[in-house]
Structure 1
Amino acid sequence: MPTVRLAFHRAKKILLTLASIVIFIEGAFAIVSLQFIVNAVFYKDVIRRQKYLDQSKKNFILLLVTILRIVAPSQVRITTENASIPKNSFVTDRRTGGIVSNMLRQSVIISNHQIYTDWVFLWWLAYTGGLAGNVFIMLKNSLERIPILGYGMRNYNFIFMNRKWEKDRVNLANRLAELDRNAKGVGYLAGKSPIGVATDGEAIWENSKSFERDDKQIHWPYALILFPEGTNLSAGTRARNAEYAAKMNLPKLNNTILPRVTGLRNVLLGLKSSCEVVYDATIGYSGVRQNEYGQDIYRLGNIFLKGRAPRIVDIHLRAFRLDEIPIEDEKDFTEWLLKVWREKDELLDSYYATGAFDLDPAQNTTAMGWCKLTAFEMLSILVFPIFTIFLIIWLMYKRLF
């Protein structure tokens, strides 16, 4: 009997793996095809085109979470700091078992970076607040060249970075100006254009007060996700980080990497007239102990192909208003960011000791639920792959018989 159960378990894993591959490939192809059609049909209708592209962005995170739900379901436990995030901003939906939230509509989300799929859980976090179609992620530019998916990410208006500031500065400034102005109804999506271009390529926008905000136009929300550490925590990055910290007389961190200052500071400066809040997320994964590396345990292949995922994903959130952050002065901002990361590191010390962000319930609120979607959303994602699978089976049957 144990042998039969083991064989059944292995067969089930193989079938789920194959199903996840088919669902992802066909789901991604369907999303990119939709984008291509939308770009062609609504070429001159920028509002409708953007709404459909935003829907395709939501569909992508629905696709990923659907696959996770099938092959490697994880529970998400969110704790929020009551001092900066109102109580019950994140609650468990009794109907679906998932989490819903009332995140603010224009935000920057910063986080420590442990595994390659950190961004999936942060994107899902935005989904809980109805912002799945309004997520923007800063990524390395090599990802832009991935066949099919690169086209999709360009349509999502993700921000691709070279990691060389002299190349990234102008690109980042222009992309932030678009986000900032569209959020106020005075950008490209409101029919506005820059009045010129500087010699370095940076767009020059009208500075008149009449262009600061237009309440007659759509205000497009955004949740911009970035990882100030710039890379995953690993044995190599930890060693290099410790060496750099000692050389520069900076604090030694046990569980995180020293954050990069320039990129985040310029993001906040570029969005200062529209950004409502900076959410500081600290992520911990069950099954990862201190001095181990999540990227080694929960590789992409292990998660999506082998179904090996953390039983619980812990996310602790606190929020900062922009007027609490000294973005105008580089030295003060550096000190602020290092303080945030020291506190994050200490929080992770506690996490690894107890297996949870063991925080005072009088000062923090906890919501826990599965990384779930509604039945309709899952069905909408699975319809095309399931239809295609049955079509292939039917064609094979007709050919053979």
Structure 2
Amino acid sequence: MTVRVVAQRALKIVITLASIVIFIQGALAIVVHQLVANLLLSSDPIRRQKHLDYTKKKFILLLVTILTIVAPSSVRITTDGRTMPKNLFSNDIHTGGLLSNLRRKSLLIANHQIYTDWVFLWWLTYTGGLAGNVFIMLKQSLARIPILGYGMENYKFIFMNRKWSKDKINLANRLSNMDHNARGVGDLAGKHFSAKTEEGLEVWTDQDPHYVDRSQKSWPYSLIIFPEGTNLSQNTRNKSEIFAAKANLENFRNLVIPRSTGLRFALQELRNSCEVVYDATIGYSGVKQNEYGQDIYQLGNIFLKGQAPELVDIHLRAFELDEIPIDDESKFSEWLLKVWREKDELLDYYYEHKNFDRGPGETSQVVTGTCKVQRLEMIQMLALPCLTALTIGVLIWKKYA
């Protein structure tokens, strides 16, 4: 084994250990910030929420900082020429990343390939200044993770049991709260629901559900939903094929059949504030058709071994709410299946051409940037770990010098 190989392996070990330290210290700092905000600002809900939103932004800053060190990826955004404006994205000359003008109140749906899909989509909201306003749905078991569970509860992430009878009320309460605050008539504006049912459903009696109080702060949101409910894998593909056969549906080549219940419910609850539904189709370099991204880019391998995709492709299109038949269950299911068929065809094109750019008329913009954050924000994420490393180094030097 050559000296060069030994040095490379040693460097990988150091980077891995550094990533672990950065994550642990960063997560602890976030939780401490949340604790202080909850204790000291309990009587000032707006300032408290601004601090909690900032800690939410800090979490994606933390993850992207680690990715920048361990496994930097470029992201290529392709926007749909029929539904997306030109020049929605631009290159950030200060970071080499991207900036965007995404709408302030949106629901984002996407296909699900690997566990870090949500990291890249969360970073996408960061490009539009919305990193502190992201909401995602997670398995209920994740709420029990020490430290992280507490942090995610403060983020008002939506924990799901995957049993609709249990999830419906919790989802209704969280979405109603999100909708009312987005219109300036929620608890952050000093308003409260008028009653609560025996099952725990919070009932709001708005005189005009479309009313927006412009004298109050409007709280934006980006709700990210994966209608497939799980990663694409051989197991989920097999289950999708069985379901398609039973339901007499055409199965997909690159996707699994999406679930419509939760998405339709979310759109119904947010109809008075949601400005747009973004549809993201994600493709990864290094993953061929009929391969599974989750097998190639496993979560531990990305963050600890640096085995991340060199290029992440995201195709974006937009739907206005009045285009979506959210009040008719059957028509909504048909609409969602149509969206997924079009995504399936788009992925066929991607695997053949290695990009989502289908030319003039079909594409309004193609822009590529690095998945990274502002330099000053990255320095803030690294300050505590660097100080810790320096302190340990000084103590060791004093002991053995």
Match of residue 16 from structure 1: 15
Match of residue 28 from structure 2: 29
Match of residue 181 from structure 2: 182
Q: For each residue in 1:46-83, what CA deviation from the matched residue of structure 2 results, as whole angstroms up to 9, or x when unmatched?
A: 00000000000000000000000000000000000122
Match of residue 274 from structure 1: 273
Measured in 2, the distance between the counterparts of 1:209 and 1:317 equals: 33
Residues 265 and 327, structure 1, Cα contact 8 Å, conserved in 2: yes
Give the length in aligned residue pairs: 400
Residues 286 and 310, structure 1, Cα contact 8 Å, conserved in 2: yes
Q: Determine if the alignment matches structure 1 residue 197 to structure 2 residue 196.
A: yes
Match of residue 387 from structure 2: 387
Residues 186 and 211, structure 1, Cα contact 8 Å, conserved in 2: no
Unaligned runs of 5+ in 2: none
Q: For each residue in 1:79-130, what CA deviation from the matched residue of structure 2 results, as whole angstroms up to 9, or x when unmatched?
A: 0012211101012123321010000000000000000010000000000000
Residues 82 and 361, structure 2, Cα contact 8 Å, conserved in 1: no
Residues 102 and 125, structure 2, Cα contact 8 Å, conserved in 1: yes
How far residue 394 of structure 1 moved from its aligned partner, in angstroms, is 2.5
Query: What letter corresponds to residue 385 of structure 1 in structure 2?
Result: P
Answer with 215-224 or 374-383: which moved more. 374-383
Where does 1:92-131 land on structure 2 (aligned, <5 Å)?
A: 92-131=91-130
Match of residue 315 from structure 1: 314
Match of residue 263 from structure 1: 262
Where does 1:165-176 land on structure 2 (aligned, <5 Å)?
A: 165-176=164-175
How far residue 195 of structure 1 moved from its aligned partner, in angstroms, is 0.7
The SS at the match of 2:369 is strand
- The normalised TM-score by structure 1 is 0.97
Query: What letter corresponds to residue 180 of structure 2 in structure 1?
Result: R
Query: What letter corresponds to residue 213 of structure 1 in structure 2?
Result: V
Residues 91 and 100, structure 1, Cα contact 8 Å, conserved in 2: yes
Match of residue 41 from structure 1: 40
Where does 1:18-97 land on structure 2 (aligned, <5 Å)?
A: 18-97=17-96
Measured in 1, the distance between the counterparts of 2:215 and 2:296 equals: 50
Residues 181 and 189, structure 2, Cα contact 8 Å, conserved in 1: yes
State the identity %.
62
Residues 81 and 363, structure 1, Cα contact 8 Å, conserved in 2: yes
Residues 281 and 314, structure 2, Cα contact 8 Å, conserved in 1: yes
Match of residue 372 from structure 1: 372
Distance 1:361 1:211, change over 3 A: closer
Measured in 1, the distance between the counterparts of 2:391 and 2:184 equals: 46
Measured in 1, the distance between the counterparts of 2:84 and 2:357 equals: 18
How far residue 11 of structure 1 moved from its aligned partner, in angstroms, is 1.8
Residues 229 and 259, structure 2, Cα contact 8 Å, conserved in 1: yes
How far residue 399 of structure 1 moved from its aligned partner, in angstroms, is 4.4
The SS at the match of 2:214 is coil
- The normalised TM-score by structure 2 is 0.97
Distance 1:279 1:210, change over 3 A: closer
Query: What letter corresponds to residue 6 of structure 1 in structure 2?
Result: V
How large is the RMSD of aligned CA atoms in angstroms? 1.3
Measured in 1, the distance between the counterparts of 2:174 and 2:397 equals: 51
Q: For each residue in 1:236-267, what CA deviation from the matched residue of structure 2 results, as whole angstroms up to 9, or x when unmatched?
A: 01001111101111111011110001000000
How far residue 361 of structure 1 moved from its aligned partner, in angstroms, is 3.7
Residues 209 and 272, structure 2, Cα contact 8 Å, conserved in 1: no
The SS at the match of 2:305 is coil
Measured in 2, the distance between the counterparts of 1:369 and 1:283 equals: 15
Answer with 33-42 or 209-218: which moved more. 209-218
Answer with 162-171 or 86-95: which moved more. 86-95
Query: What letter corresponds to residue 60 of structure 2 in structure 1?
Result: I
The SS at the match of 1:305 is helix
Match of residue 240 from structure 2: 241
Measured in 1, the distance between the counterparts of 2:189 and 2:390 equals: 44
